[in-house]
């Protein structure tokens, strides 16, 4: 047994060394990234069962066949292997190097949608878009999301159907019996102002926490953003000196950041209510939403009612109101505003506005479904633990739109069980049997 274990470890080290050498060769521009190298961590995953590894490998094969053998290489610049490349599959949300269940759930979800929807009309157009342009990736994921949810509910799905007489196309057509809906999807990226401020916030927070840990002091207060890199470095060095003075003297020091705000440095570990934060500014997201609504409404004019499926960043929902603002009230405000915008378009039956799934629920640990005034639904539901999303479904005033609102609400209220449904259709065990159980220490009897 000892000899076998020794041989197994030596083999594993050899494989990992080969992978490292392959990545170095990619960074030198000597070879290109392959799907086999990208997915190699699956074989030694500690998060997957043996059956889970087989299922994930099959999902990766489906994604690779769909996107093409050279897709990773075409969109990964030489010299990088990180999310900075702009390639979504190199982020920690997708790459199996991040050996955690939610990565595999995401891969299984995509692989399942591609396999279940592979025969539907228009899938070749969707595939061509995703292969040709990296910018189509997130957009096509939304199309696949809606198509998969509709298929589960018994709707027939068509991607990229033609509408009108001018050769225009819309993103989806879903049909069931005598009911039909055209669908236009839109995903919003984080605006530049928010992105810059969040980057500033992360840098400041990490630096302050490191100083707190080293000097055993507490920073309490708020820092306004706006520093250039060299000035920020100089200010953080000054804070470190002030913190050392506080630790040595035991006296409290107050300081004002050059860009605004106020910080108090006090000795000892953080007390209840103490802490530091940075202000996050953001652009006019409501204007971005209404502008996109008008553009998509015009693009999707056809013979069937049109639904808009918009996906907002989690920061939009987190920053729209103060943290203690009631979520129902926020949803009511958004629903009223969306309803007023929809009134200008008779052919638009409704809109679904959701947050990108996030690992932190802003509402709590319970799934919620609440009907709001104005023919709207508020939803807070799990997508795949530990990820949640908030959704608002707003419909026009007629009976058909009301019926379709109930349909959309049902799709997103039960989104968390979609993957197990899809796996069952493909003859694969449920997700819980594909990942290793999370072990918890036994509690002694005393």
Tens digit of pLDDT for each residue in 51-76?
A: 999 999 999 999 999 999 999 988 88
pLDDT in tens, 267-291: 987 666 667 777 666 667 788 899 9
The pLDDT, as a whole number, for residue 56 is 98
Q: Which of 89, 93, 109 is nearest to 426 (CA)?
A: 109
DSSP character string of 316-364: HHHHSS-TTS-HHHHHHHHHHHHHHHHTT-TTEEEEEEEEPPBSS-SS-
Cβ within 8 Å of residue 333, ≥6 positions away:
none
For residue 356, count other CB atoms closer than 10 A to its CB.
Answer: 19
What integer best gives the mean pLDDT of the chain?
86
The pLDDT, as a whole number, for residue 282 is 63
Q: Where are the beta strands (DSSP E) in 5-150?
A: none
Q: Determine the Cα–Cα distance for residues 219 and 266; give it in Å rounded to an integer.
A: 7
Judge whether residue 392 has pLDDT over 90: yes
The pLDDT, as a whole number, for residue 173 is 97
DSSP state of 87: -
pLDDT band at 201 (very low <50, low <70, confident <90, very high): confident
pLDDT band at 78 (very low <50, low <70, confident <90, very high): low
Least confident of 1-15, 154-168, 277-291, 329-343: 1-15
Cβ atoms of 142 and 184 closer than 8 Å: no
Strands 156-159 and 172-176: antiparallel
The pLDDT, as a whole number, for residue 11 is 40
Least confident of 25-29, 218-222, 348-352: 25-29
pLDDT in tens, 139-150: 999 999 999 999
| pTM score of the predicted model | 0.80
The pLDDT, as a whole number, for residue 10 is 44
Scanning 28-70, the segments in alpha helix (DSSP H) are 35-38, 50-67
Q: Determine the Cα–Cα distance for residues 279 and 277; give it in Å rounded to an integer.
A: 7
User: Across the strands, what pairs with 368?
Assistant: 380
Cβ within 8 Å of residue 1, ≥6 positions away:
none
HSE of 100, CA atoms in CB hemisphere, 13 A: 12
How far from the centroid of its chain's Cα atoms is residue 279's Cα?
23
With b meaning 16 or more CB within 10 Å and e meaning fewer, what string describes 419-443?
bbbbbeebebeebeebbeeeeeeee
């Amino acid at each position: 047994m000892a000899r076998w274990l020794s041989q197994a470890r030596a083999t594993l080290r050899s494989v990992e060394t080969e992978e490292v050498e392959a990545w170095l060769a990619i960074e030198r521009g000597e070879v290109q990234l392959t799907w086999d190298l990208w997915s190699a961590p699956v074989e030694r995953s500690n998060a997957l069962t043996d059956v889970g590894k087989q299922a994930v490998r099959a999902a990766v094969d489906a994604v690779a066949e769909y996107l093409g053998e050279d897709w990773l290489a075409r969109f990964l610049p030489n010299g990088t292997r990180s999310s900075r490349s702009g390639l979504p599959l190199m982020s920690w949300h997708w790459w199996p190097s991040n050996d955690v269940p939610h990565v595999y759930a995401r891969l299984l979800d995509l692989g399942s949608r591609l396999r279940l929807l592979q025969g539907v009309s228009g899938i070749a157009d969707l595939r061509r878009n995703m292969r040709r342009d990296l910018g189509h990736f997130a957009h096509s994921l939304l199309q696949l999301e809606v198509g998969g949810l509709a298929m589960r509910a018994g709707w027939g799905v068509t991607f990229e159907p033609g509408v009108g007489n001018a050769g225009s196309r819309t993103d989806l057509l879903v049909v069931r019996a005598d009911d039909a809906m055209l669908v236009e999807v839109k995903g919003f990226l984080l605006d530049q102002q928010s992105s810059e401020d969040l980057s500033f916030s992360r840098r400041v927070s990490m630096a302050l926490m490191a100083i707190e840990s080293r000097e055993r002091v507490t920073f309490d207060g708020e820092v306004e953003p706006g520093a250039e890199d060299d000035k920020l470095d100089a200010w953080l060095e000054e804070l470190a000196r002030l913190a050392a003075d506080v630790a040595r003297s035991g006296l409290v020091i107050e300081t004002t950041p050059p860009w605004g705000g106020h910080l108090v440095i006090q000795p000892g570990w953080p007390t209840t209510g103490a802490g530091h934060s940075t202000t996050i500014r953001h652009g006019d997201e409501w204007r971005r939403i209404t502008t996109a609504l008008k553009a998509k409404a015009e693009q999707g004019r056809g013979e069937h009612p049109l639904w808009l499926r918009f996906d907002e960043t989690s920061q939009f929902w987190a920053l729209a109101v103060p943290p203690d603002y009631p979520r129902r009230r926020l949803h009511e405000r958004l629903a009223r505003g969306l309803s007023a915008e929809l009134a200008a378009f008779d052919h638009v039956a409704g809109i679904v506005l959701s947050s990108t799934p996030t690992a932190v629920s802003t509402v709590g640990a319970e799934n919620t479904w609440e009907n709001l005034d104005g023919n709207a639904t508020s939803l807070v539901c799990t997508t795949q633990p530990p990820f949640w999303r908030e959704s608002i479904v707003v419909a026009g005033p007629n009976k058909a739109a009301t019926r379709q609102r109930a349909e959309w609400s049902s799709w997103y209220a039960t989104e968390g069980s979609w993957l197990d449904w899809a796996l069952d259709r493909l003859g694969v065990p449920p997700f819980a049997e594909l990942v290793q159980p999370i072990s918890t220490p036994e509690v002694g009897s005393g």
